[in-house]
Amino acid sequence: MTEELREHVAEELLRSRARSTALTDAVDEHDLVRQHSKLMSPLVWDLAHIGNQEELWLVRDVGGREPVRSDIDEYYDAFKFSRSVRPELPLLNPVETRQYVGDVRGKVFDVLEKVPLEGRKLVENAFAFGMIVQHEQQHDETMLATHQLRTGEPVLHAPPPPTGNLVPATEAFIPGGPFEMGTSDEPWALDNERPAHTVHVDSFFMDTTPVTNGEYAEFVLAGGYDDRRLWTEEGWQHRTSAKLSAPRFWHRDGTSFSRTAFGVTEPIVPDEPVVHVCFHEAQAYATWAGKRLPTEQEWEKAARYDAETGTTRRYPWGDEDPAEIHANLGQRHLRPAPVGAYPKGASPAGVHQLIGDVWEWTSTDFHGYPGFEVFPYPEYSKVFFGPDYKVLRGGSFGTDKSAIRATFRNWDYPIRRQIFAGFRCARDA
């Protein structure tokens, strides 16, 4: 068991590093060190930060080893300097950064070989490795978002996703009653996903698919951005000051739309989920459609609850880890897949594409579950609890399978659009 676990961890470490390397080798020095948007760090910061977290947690903490570099911690501490000022810091250059993350990784493999992975230490140490794998994959998704903000010739390439045919969307009925939300036994689950607890949800209808580009274009053409009644007070203010008129990266030509993704501009694909909309846009669309955004609890019940057995599944499709037939994850494709592309990934209630494709905005503020305990440090999620952040669920085409679960909770400001976020609608039964 222990050997198997070590091997699994080693494979996951290699897989995440292959992705980080591909994302940073794809561009030249200049594009690595420059800031492509005030919202993002330079790519070279993300890479060194990945190495620095790995050094802090696995080399120094779990391994009890000497620091690889003790002089740079503060520049890669995400709480010390905000993204917008990071280019001004005395950062490692690209050559030094690659050397640094390689040196850290060498020590980590040595720690992995020797560290106890049994008994009580198994849970603690295995989680530390799992957390570092997920952390790297999370920053890889962030770097992918930086690539999307970068202008210039395309440098990332991937085959198109599978085709699908589920337009127009239908609704699934989710019966009211209790279900078990969250988890107490997923080994790599983060503190905010814990503990498992019983939640009562009233009956509701959930859209079987995320809202598509075609549906969203209708909202734009119907004047949705100019109809104040569809927006909350806060949403209208933001829509006005930020001059929103369509999803980020869309271009309008009369009544048709194109969009730019990773350097390629092409007409929008009507049956692909819409992406790069903020919470306020999602909320206004839902109101226009006569619906609303789901709560986080509704989202998880639609994703995990099996009404026939009354049990909660690990994933919509069952208990197996995500495979290619289930969901569009891991940057295998550089875009969301058309609705209906993953029939094998549907939930027992018949809700499609809950995992992968686009993060889905929910109407819920980010808070700890009843019984929440900080683990391993308050800066992972506790410091973000409160009314400022909305919960997003399900992961995107840029989320790795190691960093997504049906219990996984992401969060962001309701005005953010550079993340790979879309949404689906729900309504009361």
User: For residues 132 and 339, which CB has a smaller minimum distance to ligand AVJ in the complex?
Assistant: 132
- Shortest distance, CB of residue 273 to ligand AVJ, whole angstroms? 19
- Shortest distance, CB of residue 261 to ligand AVJ, whole angstroms? 20
CB 202 within 8 A of CB 179: no
Residue 135 sits in the site that holds ligand AVJ (CB under 6 A) = yes
Residue 52 sits in the site that holds ligand AVJ (CB under 6 A) = no
Q: Residues in the chain, how many? A: 429
Q: Decide: helix, strand or coil at residue 200.
A: strand
Residue 142 sits in the site that holds ligand AVJ (CB under 6 A) = yes
- In Å, what is the CA distance from 26 to each residue of 6, 30, 143, 157? 30, 12, 11, 10
Residue 411 sits in the site that holds ligand AVJ (CB under 6 A) = yes
Site string for ligand AVJ, 67-86 (x = CB under 6 A): -----------x--------
User: For residues 60 and 135, which CB has a smaller minimum distance to ligand AVJ in the complex?
Assistant: 135
- Shortest distance, CB of residue 283 to ligand AVJ, whole angstroms? 20
Residue 405 sits in the site that holds ligand AVJ (CB under 6 A) = no
Residue 276 sits in the site that holds ligand AVJ (CB under 6 A) = no
- Shortest distance, CB of residue 168 to ligand AVJ, whole angstroms? 32
Cβ neighbours for 313, distance < 8 A, ≥ 6 positions apart: 304, 305, 306, 319, 347, 348, 406
User: For residues 363 and 410, which CB has a smaller minimum distance to ligand AVJ in the complex?
Assistant: 410
Amino acid (one-letter) located at 127: F
CB 245 within 8 A of CB 225: yes
| Best CA proximity match to 136, nearest among 187, 177, 188 | 188
Query: Which residue's CB comes closest to ligand AVJ?
Result: 138
Q: Can you list the pairs that 72-81 forms with residues at least 24 positions away whose Cβ atoms lie under 8 Å? A: 72/48, 72/100, 76/45, 76/48, 76/49, 76/52, 78/49, 78/379, 79/379
Amino acid (one-letter) located at 372: F
- In Å, what is the CA distance from 192 to each residue of 141, 221, 304, 391? 20, 39, 17, 11
Residue 138 sits in the site that holds ligand AVJ (CB under 6 A) = yes
| Best CA proximity match to 195, nearest among 378, 365, 372, 366 | 372
Residue 410 sits in the site that holds ligand AVJ (CB under 6 A) = yes
User: For residues 128 and 246, which CB has a smaller minimum distance to ligand AVJ in the complex?
Assistant: 128
Options 64-72, 136-144, 223-231, 334-342: segment touching ligand AVJ (CB under 6 A):
136-144
- Shortest distance, CB of residue 83 to ligand AVJ, whole angstroms? 10
Radius of gyration of the chain (CA): 21
| Total of residues contacting ligand AVJ (CB under 6 A) | 7
- In the complex, the residues that contact ligand AVJ under the rule CB under 6 A are 78, 135, 138-139, 142, 410-411
